[in-house]
Structure 1
Amino acid sequence: MTKPIEGVSEKILACAKKEFLEKGYSEASLRTIAAKADTTTGSIYSRFRDKEGLFGAIVEPAADGLIQIFLKIQEEFHAVKAEDQPRLMEKYVSSGMDEMLDYVYERFEEFQLLLDASYGTRYQDFVEQLVDIETEYTYKYMEATKFLQDGSEITEEFVHITARAMFDSMFEVVRHRMDRETARKYIHMLEQYHYGGWGALIKLG
């Protein structure tokens, strides 16, 4: 068996990232990537299977890492006694959003690809995975704190809609290429905005 040439995979990944950032997944060309990496399309196929495999090699570690951080934050919060959760929620949300924001900004280009260049791949629904987690755990919180009552208009579908709005808003800081500290300021403003909305619903209830 021929020994793989050292450094070729790394060069392919670097050139592929630039190509995907510039053109998106659908319009990116493996021939162009191969030419810029001084290799062949066959070399790309042997290492990454196909174009989606190459795209996944770039974005999947970042996507999986953020999902795991988000699940950890949720699990830690829901391990708190139910009677203490309302009082501690803001603290957990704020620190959790900071942790997630720092993670994203340390892998900024990968998240640009996930958000704006992944159409046509299995990663195009990446944000929806976060929304599903938020929806599940928000409902758990409402059940644990007895917020849900018979006849409540706060349905799982409604929670999903608000969670989607939250994450779409959050990721706008990436789409607008804000510097990290400006993004942090906006993220905390968004937290207060969403708290205000939920506060109004609770009072109405």
Structure 2
Amino acid sequence: MCEKKQSTLDRIMAEGKKEFLDKGFKDASLRNIVKSAGVTTGAFYGYFSDKKALFEALVDPAVKGFKEQFIAVHKAFEQLPRDVKMRVAYDDSSPHQKELITYIYDHFDAFKLLISCAEGTAYADFINSLVETEVAATLDFIRDTGCDALISGRASPEMLHILSSAYFAAVFEIVVHDMPKSAADNYIENIRIFFTAGWKSILYL
């Protein structure tokens, strides 16, 4: 791509991000984006079919990267022998949570768009998609380790969904409230301690 075209694209994406962060996807104005970027509507359509396509370009790389890491963590855990799973399920030394939080801060604006501005797009379901993955992994863990949480009635699939939803909602408060990274690290550690205690009481680990 020539320098002029790249510059035009960069301006459109920069002004689009500002407009979406300021007004949210639903209320964002394509006219304002084009005007602020100093380009014509025709120039905009040379890059994006509509504002949904622009929003996707701003958030999709971060979504894909996060989900790839998230799923990779679960797949690696699935491959562990049963006794190892039991031992490391809530291993305090695991680096994975910290890596995911670092990833969020490395792409903070994209996650701000995802968590606070995505209503009206397919990305509004982002957190729920993580919850579904987490619940499926927890059910696999219960089955693979012989845990009796479901049989005994201490847990149910619905309860697992509610607890997982609460966990991810708590995690992404760091984005909602624009927490500095140092404050977020401390907050997330406290969230981990809180939820770990609850899960251990349910799963008897």
TM-score by length of 2: 0.92
User: Secondary structure at 1:48's aligned position in 2?
Assistant: coil
Residue aligning to 2:77: 77
Residue in 2 that maps onto 1:7:
7
Question: How many pairs does the alignment contain?
Answer: 201
Match of 1:155 in 2: 156
Looking at structure 1, the residues matched to 161 and 85 of structure 2 have their Cα atoms a distance apart, in angstroms, of: 20
- The corresponding residue for 1:35 is 35
Query: In 2, distance between residues paired with 1:165 and 1:126?
Result: 14
Partner Cα separation in structure 1 for residue 181 and residue 189 of structure 2: 12
- The TM-score with structure 1 as length reference comes to 0.92
User: Which residue matches 1:65?
Assistant: 65
Unaligned regions of 5+ residues in structure 1, if any? none
Whether the 8 Å contact between 2:148 and 2:203 is mirrored in structure 1 is: no
Query: How do 1:165-180 and structure 2 match up within 5 A?
Result: 165-180=166-181
Q: 1:96 to 1:145 in 2, by over 3 A?
A: same
Is residue 66–residue 100 contact of structure 2 (8 Å, CA) maintained in 1? yes
CA distance in 2, matches of 1:132, 1:71: 12
Q: 1:71 to 1:35 in 2, by over 3 A?
A: same
- Name the counterpart of 2:116: 116
Moved beyond 4 Å, runs of 4+: none
Call closer, same or farther: CA 1:18–1:144 in 2, change over 3 Å. same
Q: Judging changes above 3 Å, is the alpha-carbon distance between structure 1 residues 143 and 92 closer, same or farther for their aligned structure 2 residues?
A: farther
Q: Does the residue aligned with 1:123 lie in a helix, a strand or coil?
A: helix
Are 1:16 and 1:33, in contact at CA under 8 Å, matched by a contact in 2?
Answer: yes
Q: Which runs of 5+ in 2 are unaligned?
A: none
Structure 2 residue 20 is matched with structure 1 residue 20: yes
RMSD: 1.8
In 1, Cα distance between equivalents of 2:91 and 2:57: 35
CA distance in structure 2 between the partners assigned to 1:57 and 1:73 by the alignment: 26
